[in-house]
A and B are shown apart, each in its own frame.
Chain A
Amino acid sequence: MRRRGFTRALDFRHGQVEMTHGSGGRATAQLVEELFVAQFDNEALRRLDDQAQVEVPPGRLVVATDSHVVSPLFFPGGDIGCLSVHGTINDVSMAGARPLYLAAGFILEEGLPLADLRRIVESMAAAAREAGVPIVTGDTKVVERGKGDGVFITTTGVGVVPAGVNVSGTRARPGDAVLVNGTMGDHGVAIMSLRENLEFGTTIRSDTAALHGLVAAMLKAVPDIHCLRDPTRGGLATTLNELAHQSGVGVIIGEARIPVRGEVNSACEFLGLDPLYVANEGKLIAICAPADAQRLLDAMQAHPLGREAAIIGEVIEDEHAFVQMDTAFGGRRVVDWLTGDQLPRIC
């Protein structure tokens, strides 16, 4: 690549995003080259075309897109950068697909410190590298100060579903087992702990993680997984309702079987929240035939991202598609869709 001879390198210590960084001119080119290309570094990106040309193996192509507006930008256990990589990789993976490439669109607010932007982009690059899913194309726009909130990132991912895999939210059948790969509510509580007026000390970290490795291990053990979904906004409760609705079945879960950290429970208690509705960013729900459940659980628990996996309930016949829960107290209740907005700007 030929250097364009920018007179002065970007000032990542004191500089800030200016309107010219989004104008498409020399300043944009400099930001792209010295930050995005330098960090994301891969062959498709280095060509500096307006699009990426990539090779795709045979199979069904999966496309998923996800916008990220989390506030604050940096939180215990992660930041908007790695979140935007993990979120889209997970959306692709929940089809049972192997994620291959990512595209990233940035909306930057005038005045955002370049140091913050670099930290975010470095975090994205590290997350993409670790996941083995390169960011092959992107776009940057700048809006005036006050018209954004630092940075919004949209990522789009593509992947391929291998032959013989058929994961869908419509495939839950009465008798199926419902599993999760770990504790519920960590991400939401980590974000909440930093919010204005609420700041409370906690050791809870966001669980943000790319789940495609875990999914691959699960599919290896049980190729016929019926449903996979990541319980992000709306938490476990809302995601189970989505699946029940799509498949036209009911679900019964046992409160005592759902893994929730003690700290998350305590934080939810004094914030008046229910951990079942709090967002996760490194968790999945899996539904499979009862005969496969133990094998799937073993495979999950053998993976670093599934050590605390558990079977939490089962699918039942129910024309009303209710999700119900046997409470630890000894009663039974509906676990309904999330109403209103429990935690705005969570991802």
Chain B
Amino acid sequence: MKYIDEFRDGSVARRIGAAIAREALPGRRYSFMEFCGGHTHAIARYGVADLLPGNVRMIHGPGCPVCVLPIGRIDMAIEIARRPEVILATYGDTMRVPASGRLSLLKAKAQGADIRMVYSTADAVRLAERNPAREVVMFAIGFETTTPPTALAIREAQAKGLTNFFVFCNHVLTPSAISHILESPEVRELGTVPIDGFVGPAHVSTVIGSRPYEFFAEEYQKPVVIAGFEPLDVMQAILMLVRQVNDGRCEVENEFTRAVTREGNAKAQALVAEVFGLRRTFEWRGLGEVPYSALRLKEGYAAFDAERRYGVADRSVPDHKACECGAILRGLRHPADCKLFGSACTPENPLGSCMVSSEGACAAHYTYGRFRDTSRRVAAGAAVT
């Protein structure tokens, strides 16, 4: 595939791997967090870790939109979907996310709720046009990448005069989550979770640009390298991070120049600002309440707001007691450290959110990398499935 294979070339990967091994100082450990699930997935799927020297470690961050969706919000979506007049339109990833009472959207669908998988918000608008007697609710989730399409769908529904299209808005913001991690006591207190730098978001940055990260680099003295989602992008970004650390630099560098500019996509930003406003606070699974980290529909678009339409109340539901998703999302624990991993919690029966989406740290490790820790788990007497 043209423009794809070039970014997955094994011989180039080995060259960059050799450069990282050469330049990483033998007496030092390097811990970098890749924020995005897309990077987590690429690292696991292509076996990037195998090409890194032992003293360079990747920490999987919370940038998987499905993983950070709290149970309460899924419960609210199910409550909306169960109304007889409603068709709930949703991205496929959210179907299996565990909700309260052993439910999920998939199970609610089997029980009779009209829940349909769509590939884009535009499909949800079409669904509303084709079903004028029903009310179509888009279960909108995701970071800055999926927010502009939701805004566009609302504007399209408005232009078409549709009165049966609504959005259940769960859009969240990347920079506030990164701040939250950097502000957390484990990261601030030296030595608990050393994060030496970030592989910055790819697609999110095409929208917001590289400028929002300049604050972190400066304020928290952490290097950031924005990277594409292809495995060579990730390798190159790691090399650039190693060089920044060695030079004592804390800059925002852009590896993903083929798509990201400093200013980002001004049109998309304007559209989002027109339709959405900030929530004062929003619960993230694994991170808890994060101030000013999510969006809601502005007053001018209240007629499209499913939360207002159906009066569903926000609720907070605690995670499974033994679930370590929160610690894993903050980089405190490795998936294999969790007692539930691979035994009670698998991609077929996910208990925690990190096991649901293929971009989640646990699912990626289970699906692609768990052969590496079988010996350790057997030694510890844990069940291996």
Contact = CB atoms under 8 A, between A and B. Distances in A.
Interface string A316-347: 00001010100111111110100110000000
Interface string B362-380: 0000111111001000000
Q: What are the 8 closest A-B residue pairs judged by CB atoms, nearest first?
A: A331-B47, A331-B50, A339-B347, A333-B368, A329-B46, A330-B10, A336-B367, A333-B47
A330 B371 contact: no
A246 B4 CA distance: 36
Contacts of A336: 347, 366-368
B29 to A, nearest CB: 21
A336 B346 CA distance: 12
B1 A330 contact: no
Nearest to A274: B45
A327 B8 CA distance: 10
A322 B370 CA distance: 9
A331 B49 CA distance: 7
Interface of B: 1, 4, 8-10, 13-14, 17, 44-51, 95-96, 118-119, 123, 231, 347-348, 366-371, 374, 384
27 contacts: A197-B118, A197-B119, A197-B123, A198-B119, A269-B4, A322-B371, A327-B10, A327-B45, A329-B10, A329-B46, A329-B48, A330-B13, A330-B47, A330-B50, A331-B47, A331-B48, A331-B50, A332-B50, A332-B371, A333-B45, A333-B47, A333-B368, A334-B369, A334-B371, A336-B366, A336-B367, A340-B347
B347 A330 contact: no
Nearest to B52: A331
A327 B44 CA distance: 11
Given A320-B371, A328-B8, A332-B47, A265 B348 contact: no
A324 B96 contact: no
Interface centre among A198, A324, A327, A329 (most CB of B within 10 A): A329
Nearest to B231: A329
A320 B51 contact: no
Interface of A: 197-198, 262, 265-266, 269, 320, 322, 324, 327-334, 336, 339-340
Main secondary structure of the interface of B (DSSP, over half): helix
A329 B374 CA distance: 23
B48 A320 contact: no
Nearest to B385: A320
Q: Is the interface of A mostly helix, strand, loop or mixed?
A: loop
B4 A334 contact: no
Contacts of A324: 371
Given A320-B371, A329-B231, 12 more contacts: A197-B118, A269-B4, A327-B45, A327-B47, A329-B46, A330-B51, A331-B50, A333-B45, A333-B368, A334-B367, A336-B367, A340-B95
Contacts of A327: 10, 45-47
Nearest to B44: A333
A194 to B, nearest CB: 15
A330 B9 CA distance: 9
A265 B3 CA distance: 13
A320 B376 CA distance: 13
B371 to A, nearest CB: 5
Given A328-B10, A331-B50, A332-B50, A339 B348 contact: yes
B12 to A, nearest CB: 9
Contacts of B49: 331
B314 to A, nearest CB: 29
A340 B352 CA distance: 16
B367 A320 contact: no
A341 to B, nearest CB: 9
A325 to B, nearest CB: 9
Given A197-B118, A328-B10, A329-B46, A334 B368 contact: yes
Nearest to B120: A197
A336 B44 CA distance: 12
A81 B226 CA distance: 51
Contacts of B9: 329
Contact of A329 (B8, B119, B367): B8
Contacts of A332: 47, 50, 371
Nearest to B92: A340
A320 B367 CA distance: 14
Contacts of B14: 330
A336 B342 CA distance: 13
Contacts of A329: 8-10, 13, 46-48, 51, 231
Most buried by A among B8, B10, B95, B370: B10
Contacts of A333: 44-47, 368-369
Contacts of A198: 119
A328 B231 CA distance: 11
Contacts of A334: 367-371
